[in-house]
A and B are shown apart, each in its own frame.
Chain A
Amino acid sequence: ILNVEQSPQSLHVQEGDSTNFTCSFPSSNFYALHWYRWETAKSPEALFVMTLNGDEKKKGRISATLNTKEGYSYLYIKGSQPEDSATYLCAAARGTYKYIFGTGTRLKVLA
C-alpha cells in the first residue's frame, strides 16, 4: 500500500504568520496529488489537484507545490487568519480511482 505522510501533525501559529506543511508520498506510480481542507464538524473540501512535476497552484492566500520525482508536496498559507484553522489533508491517487490519504495537519491560528 502506498504510504502518505503529513507533517507536522499539528501546528499553532499567530494570526498574520505564514506557515507551510509537507505531504510525502512514494514517487513511483504517481498519478495525482490532492489537497483538502477539513473544518471541524464539516466535510473535506478540495483545495487543489496537482498532476505535473513542478506544478504550482494558488487560491487566494493558499498555494501548493509538487515534486513528483522526490515525492513531496508543500502547502503554504500566507498571512494566516483564524478562519484558516482546519485540518489539511493530502491524498495520493494511484491511477484515476484509488486514493490514499494522509492523517492530516491540524492548524490552529490564534487571534
Chain B
Amino acid sequence: AQSVTQLDSHVSVSEGTPVLLRCNYSSSYSPSLFWYVQHPNKGLQLLLKYTSAATLVKGINGFEAEFKKSETSFHLTKPSAHMSDAAEYFCVVSEGGGSTLGRLYFGRGTQLTVWP
C-alpha cells in the first residue's frame, strides 16, 4: 500500500531561521518522491524530485530534501527562511511499478508561516 504522511499540518518559523517540513511515506516499489509548493491562489509548482539518483536533492529557492530509505522519509529543508516561502507544501509519492505505476499520492499538506 502507498501512503504519504506529512507530520505537521502547520509550521511557523522566523525569517532567517531554518525550515524543516517532515514527510514519511510507504511504497511497494521503488518510488519517485516530490515536493510541490502552492502559494495562495496559485497553482502547484514543483520544488524538487527524487528519482533514485543522489539521495540529497536540491531544488529551487534554496530548498533541499534527503531521501532516507531506512527511515522511509523525505524531509524538506531550507537553511534560512524567507518571507516569500510562506505557502503550502505537499509531499508526493509516485509508485515505481505494479498496477499503480505512475499514480501520485499526496500528503495532506503543511502550511508554512514565516514571521518577520
**A, B assembled together:** no
Residues of A within 8 A of B (CB): none
